[in-house]
Amino acid sequence: MGDAETVLLFSLLAIPVAIWLQLWVKNQKLRRKNSMGEEEFESTGRALFAIVIEGTAIVGGLIMIIMGAGGVIKYILKFYAA
């Protein structure tokens, strides 16, 4: 298996992981909502921790989606250019 196939494999594996991260953040936010639809935290520390962790997950997931899509597109262009 060449380098192009390895990159394609990792790109295709990164996309579902990134989507799972986005869904995890969404579920976390839905779990914290009260009856009026507002997010509630037990303490300020918990809110800060959630902001940092979920923010990192969102940004990391988006980066993984972009890099995964780029790897797939690069493989397709290389495959059809030859």
20-57: pLDDT as tens digits: 999 999 999 999 998 898 888 889 999 999 999 999 99
Q: Is the pTM value of this prediction over 0.85?
A: no
In this prediction, residue 80 has a pLDDT band, given cuts at 50, 70 and 90, of: confident
In this prediction, residue 1 has a pLDDT band, given cuts at 50, 70 and 90, of: low
* Domain with 59 in it: 3-81
Q: How many domains does the chain have?
A: 1
Buried-exposed string 44-68: b where 16+ CB fall within 10 A, e elsewhere = eeeeeebeeebeebbeebeebbebb
pLDDT at 74 over 70: yes
